Structure 1
Amino acid sequence: MYELTITRLIDAPVEKCWDVLANRQEEWWCPAPWRIEMVAQERHAGGRSAMVMKGPEGEEMPQEGVFLSWEDGTRFVTTDAVSLADGIYTPSDPFMIGIWEVVPEGDGTRYSASARHWTEEAMLQHKEIGFEQGWGAVADQFVALCEG
């Protein structure tokens, strides 16, 4: 499996972390000063997951995909291998499957975010373009909201 993962131990209850994970994505999803504008979140397997990443200079990067799984209170899984518009699923040029999860650990919560890739080359490309720095910054923003 070609996977990259970021984890953090958070000093907050899993219920609070889930609320931030599921309901406050616009506050932590992109490394600042980038942000997202949520377009659609159909929170069930097969539902649309769409957002636009917005940069400080007016850059826009649309992201379309579908949820493969939504396990309320624990985790969700998305992929960009398929897009959904007007009720029609369309194959896309896949980059990854993303998995976001919060689970109780000790007195706090373990957060993990993983990117699974179809090939080793895609995984290495993701690593080279800054997976650890970008997803690490996002994880730190997420932790700050959960612990704040």
Structure 2
Amino acid sequence: MNNNLPFDFIVNKTTKTVQINREFAAELPLVWDAFTKQEILDQWWAPQPWESRTKIMDFKVGGRRFYAMVSPEGQEHWSVQKYTSISPKTNFKMTNAFADPDENPELPGSEWDLNFSEHNGTTKVSISIYNESLERMEKMIEMGFKEGFTATLGSLENLLATLSK
């Protein structure tokens, strides 16, 4: 892990927003693919030793990803992401909600706005997560979102280093 690259994780309870800025030593097309292609996403989108298992992935406006984070013991935590806007290689937006195994969302969810930019072979990903409810945001934080997502982004960094070779 390259700890020299910038990483910010900012919780703002007033605006009910979590802002994450993370840079990766990889070119933008590869980082974009890591966030938008199921076969790559499932390799990193869960804090180890958990795994991500996608049941449905249709990356297009109006499409969705339905997946579970699965513990080593087989415990599943389902989520559904619905893509609301896509500007290839620069931005996509989605709603994200916890769900049951039948894809029924647990509302309210959150709105994710992901921005991608590259400078000299380093790609910056800026993620803004807006929660309609302060209660939901606090639940997300209490569940260990910061620690889990930080570890998950570390897994992405390691995977990108392997895929960049």
TM-score over 0.5 for the pair: yes
Q: Which has the higher contact order (CA 8 A, sep 6+)?
A: 1
Distance across 1 between alignment mates of 2:96 and 2:75: 20
Cα deviation code 1:90-136 (max 9, x no counterpart): 87512212233321134411023332101223222222221210111
Question: RMSD of the alignment, in Å?
Answer: 2.3
Q: Does the aligned pair in 2 maintain the 1:80–1:94 contact within 8 Å? A: no
Aligned pairs, number: 142
Name the TM-score, length of structure 2 as normaliser: 0.74
Secondary structure of 1:31's aligned partner:
coil
Q: How is 1:1-148 mapped onto 2 (pairs within 5 angstroms)?
A: 1-23=15-37, 24-80=40-96, 93-148=107-162
Paired residue type of 1:38: T
**Cα offset, 1:145, TM superposition:** 1.7
Moved over 3 A (4+): none
Distance across 2 between alignment mates of 1:59 and 1:144: 25
Cα deviation code 1:25-58 (max 9, x no counterpart): 0011000111111111222222122112211111
**Cα offset, 1:75, TM superposition:** 2.9
**Cα offset, 1:78, TM superposition:** 1.9
Distance across 2 between alignment mates of 1:9 and 1:79: 23
Q: Structure 2: state its 5+ residue gaps.
A: 1-14
Q: Structure 1: state its 5+ residue gaps.
A: 84-89
Distance across 2 between alignment mates of 1:91 and 1:128: 20
Distance across 2 between alignment mates of 1:2 and 1:120: 6
Paired residue type of 1:49: R
Name the TM-score, length of structure 1 as normaliser: 0.81
Q: Percent identity?
A: 26
